[in-house]
Each structure stands twice: as structure tokens, then as C-alpha cells.
Structure 1
């Protein structure tokens, strides 16, 4: 179904407090099936390219806990192949949740508006969230989804996911 996320494909910058998840550092459903995804070589900055799925599910989590009382933002850097299809029928959604039992924050993303080879950051303005000072579990769980329409879609390129600490 999907290959396990490779921890070697996740980078942490201590200076900025930000995480960078390359495609192989994410759990991408159906990524091990060549008919559905074209995955980049290990250690490269190439994107994962969706060939065709009806169930888009990309998930990740921070390998180390986030800092309590801090504000963060989640975004994905994406582009579209020229032959992309299926994105007009339903929007995609991004989710961020601090702790397994945390409350999820959602953002709706209209991928029909994304065209061309240029990398775009979604959602516009990023998905922002705060880690409670009282939180017991501060691991971030996040995802990028479109699994409700049941329609086939393709052409989406995932360049990376970024979790960054926001300034006060």
C-alpha cells in the first residue's frame, strides 16, 4: 500500500525550529505502487508525482516533540503536471493536530486553481496552530487528503511539507 516514512528524509533546523519533510519522509498511501505514484530517488530533492489515485492520503508527524507554548505553521510545496486531472470535482484538505488526542485544525485547498510547473505553497497563508503550554503530547500529526469524492485524480507533485516555528 505505502512505504513507511524514511526518517532520513526529514530535516530539522535547530536555528529556526523548522522541519522539512521530503516526499520519502511522508507516509503516502499507494506510494509503493508504480501505477499510482512516481517516487523520487532517496536523498534527492525531486518531488513525488501522483500518476492516478482516487484516494489521496499523505501523512506525517514530527520525529521530536514541538515546544510548548509556541506557534507553528504547516504548509506543503506543490506543483501540477501539465496533464493533471480530477481536481475540479472536489477540494483537498490539510490537517494539523498536536498530540494523538489533540483537536485537528483543517484548511480547504482548491487544487483546481493550481496550474503549471511553478512550486506553490498551500494553503495560502499556511495552516497555523499553537502548542498548548499544558499539552502532554506535543508531537505534530498532519496530513493532506482528498478521499471523499471517489473520483480519479492525477498530476499533483509533492515537493515537501514544512513545519515552521512562527515569530511572536
Structure 2
């Protein structure tokens, strides 16, 4: 069904608190089937390209714990290939939650408006969240989804997912 996420394809900078997930560092449903996805070579910065699925599910999690009481932001860098289709019918959604039992924060993404070959960051303004001071599990679990419409989609390119620590708010 899909290949496991490769931890070697996730970069973490402990000084900035920033993670960069290359496509092979994400769990992409159906990515092991070349009829559905074209996956980049290991160790490259090339995007994963969706050939055709009706079930879009891309997930990841941080390997290091997030800092309690700090704010973070999640974003995906994406583009669209020639011949893209299926994105006008239903929006995609991004989700972030701290801890397996945490409360999910969602963002709606209208991919039908994305221009072919222009790399962009979604969602606009990023999906921001805070790690509770009392959190027992501070691992971030996140995803990018469109599995409700049942329609076939094609042409989405996933360049990377980024999780970054946000500056503290002024007191």
C-alpha cells in the first residue's frame, strides 16, 4: 500500500527547532505503487508527484519532542503538474496535533486555485499551533488529506513539509 517514512529523509536543526520532511520522509498512502505516485530518488530534493488517487493521505511526525509552551507552524510546499485534475470538486485539509491524544487543529486548502509549476506554501499563513505546558506527549502528528469526495485526483506535487518554531509573542 505505501512505503514507511524514511527517517533519513527528515532533517532537524536543533538550534532553530525546524524540521524539513522530504517526500520520502513522509508516509504517503499508495506511494509504493507507481500507478499512483512517482517518488523521488532517495537523498534528492525532487518532489513526489501524484499520478492518480481517490484517497489522498500524507502523514508525518516529529522525531524530537516539541518544547512545551512554545508555538510552532506547519506548512507544505507544493506545486501542480500539467494535466492536473480533480481538485475543483473538493478541498484538501491539513491537520496538526500535539500528542497522539491531542486536539487536532485543521486548515482547509483549495488546491483548485494552485497554478501549474509554481511552488507555493500551504496553507497561507501556515497552520499555527501551541504545545500545552501540561502536555505529556509532545510529539507532533500531522497530515495532508482529501479522502471524503471519492473523486479521482492527479497532478499534485509534494516538495516538502516544514515544521518550525515560531518567535515568542511579546509580553
Q: Give the CA deviation at 1:136.
A: 0.4
Runs of at least 5 residues in structure 1 that lack an aligned partner in the other structure: none
- Matches for 1:137-152 after TM superposition, within 5 Å: 137-152=137-152
> How many residues are treated as equivalent by the alignment?
168
Q: Give the CA deviation at 1:26.
A: 0.2
Aligned to 1:33: 33
TM-score under structure 2 length normalisation = 0.97
Aligned to 1:122: 122
Aligned to 1:108: 108
Separation (CA, whole Å) in 2 of partners of 1:93 and 1:57: 10
Measured against aligned partners, the alpha-carbon deviations of 1:104-125 in whole angstroms (never above 9, x if no partner) come to 0000000001012121000000
Separation (CA, whole Å) in 1 of partners of 2:20 and 2:118: 19
SS at match of 1:24: helix
Aligned to 2:13: 13
Q: CA RMSD in A?
A: 0.4
Runs of at least 5 residues in structure 2 that lack an aligned partner in the other structure: none
Structure 1 runs (4+) deviating above 3 angstroms are: none
TM-score under structure 1 length normalisation = 0.99
